[in-house]
Structure 1
Amino acid sequence: MPDIEFFHSPNTRSSGVRVLLEELGVPYRLHVLNMRAGEHLEGAYRAVNPMAKVPAIRHGEAVVTEQAAVYLYLADLFPEAGLAPAPTEPDRGTYLRWMVFYGSCFEPAVIDRHLKREPGPRAMSAYADYDSVIARVKEALTPGPYLLGERFSAADILWGGALGWTTGFGLVEPAPVLTAYVERIRSRPAARMVAAEDAQLAEAHQAAASA
């Protein structure tokens, strides 16, 4: 199987993909981009992702960009890790729903609310309204412990990170069910390791920018 090349910058949406790779237990080649120095805007990386965003992966001839697509691709690529229900499993629909719900509903709703933008008429809004989005997330995590009940999946890595940064920056009001879920995901060894290494990378990037 060809190597996985992973394009990453610390403390960004790609951090969750690095956690996923560690949870999968598979080798990968890490390409770190210093976004403070604008490396993601240079031609070499735009050839990988013209949108100049992370994460991105290259696997053989395949290049995958967009956060949820990268999660879906990797979790399906290594089914033995058990982080994605198979298409024949009943949980597959719920898993796909939450993978897509993040980018299509949750993040737009959170950003619109933070920027004090109206979602637009309900018939034109991708997410309907903010309160409904948050209510659905809380329902999905009750009683938990994970989005698929007792089964931990790649979707939890995505959502654990997303809820961590949105509640941490005050974009989403903390609630006991959300806080407990974030801590549950953050306490996993892979998440702790990536957080520590990201902190070191971010410090190095800051030092380079200040030099």
Structure 2
Amino acid sequence: MSDDVILYTNPMSRGRIVRWMLEEIGKPYQTEWLTYGPQMKSPEFLAINPLGKIPAIRHGSTVVTETPAILAYLADAFPEAGLAPSPSKRGAYYRWLFFVSGPMESSVVNSLCGFAVPDDKRGMMGYGEVSVMHDTIEGAIKAGPYIAGQSFTAADLYLASHLSFQMNMCGMEKRPAFTDYVARMTDRDAFRRAAAIDNAAIEAATKA
């Protein structure tokens, strides 16, 4: 079996984040394109992810699902790419990977679904007050230049991806600190290559 990473994805999915990561790593990888619907629920793909959701990767005999887990795995599997701090300096790195996948994502999902948290239940929400959560992100960004220290990591890739999506698609406040951070993080050749691949796939599917 090839040791190349196989990315299971759709160009209109969180798989775009994983592709950016793979382009940052710069090693050969394969793409298995899946369409929403029956193909993602096929026995073949359910053997990869029983939830029938993307993205997922296979690396040799290892299968990883869930975007932040994939990013963390890839950073460790390809340490020469420098996308994770040294183990003794990973506090902020882990904090922000899980902050994005936990409080940040749950807040936007609740918003998109029209769910208003009752005041007496707000303490149960991982994000608490959305405005305070946004203040927390802004403060960390301004302390930069990167979210987990002095160099670009998978945590920046993940946070910038979510900020971009939430500001452009979900009505998140476009604070200057957020737009500047996203612009800086995405001003990278790897991001441009990844976006071009997925955008070309979307265009081809539209014409099919």
Paired residue for 1:181?
A: 181
Measure how far apart 1:67 and its partner are: 0.7
Q: Which residue of 1 aligns with 2:3?
A: 2
Measure the CA separation in 2 of the matches of 1:93 and 1:25: 26
Residue range with higher mean Cα deviation, 68-77 or 26-35: 26-35
Q: What is the TM-score of this pair, normalised by structure 1?
A: 0.90
What CA deviation, in whole Å up to 9, does each residue of 1:102-149 have, x standing for no partner?
A: 111001112223433233514422222211211111111004232124
Q: Partners of 1:189 and 1:159 in 2: how far apart?
A: 18
Offset of 1:38 from its aligned partner? 4.4
- Write the deviation string for residues 12-55 of structure 1: whole angstroms up to 9, x where unpaired: 111111111111111212111123x6422322212211112111
Residue 194 of structure 2: aligned partner: 194
The aligned amino acid for 1:32 is W
Could you tell me which residue of structure 2 aligns to residue 136 of structure 1? 136
- Unpaired stretches in structure 2, ≥5 consecutive residues: none
Counterparts in 2 of 1:52-131, with a 5 A limit? 52-88=52-88, 90=89, 92-119=90-117, 121-131=121-131
Instruction: Determine helix, strand or coil for the equivalent of 2:136.
Output: helix
Distance 2:38 2:201 in 1: 15
- Percent identity over the alignment? 37
Label 1:99 to 1:143 Cα distance change in 2 as closer, same or farther (>3 A). Answer: same
Post-superposition Cα deviations, 1:27-86, rounded to whole Å, max 9, x if no partner, equal 212111123x64223222122111121110111221100011000100011112111012
1: CA distance between counterparts of 2:170 and 2:159? 16
Number of residue pairs aligned between Structure 1 and Structure 2 = 205
Partner of 2:28: 27
Query: Partner of 1:141: helix, strand, or coil?
Result: helix
Does structure 1 residue 13 correspond to structure 2 residue 14? Answer: yes
Name the amino acid aligned to 1:26.
Answer: K
Query: Over aligned residue pairs, what C-alpha RMSD do you find?
Result: 1.7
Measured in 1, the distance between the counterparts of 2:24 and 2:87 equals: 21
CA distance in structure 2 between the aligned counterparts of 1:40 and 1:112, rounded to whole angstroms: 24
What is the TM-score of this pair, normalised by structure 2?
0.91
How many angstroms apart in 2 are the aligned matches of 1:151 and 1:194? 20
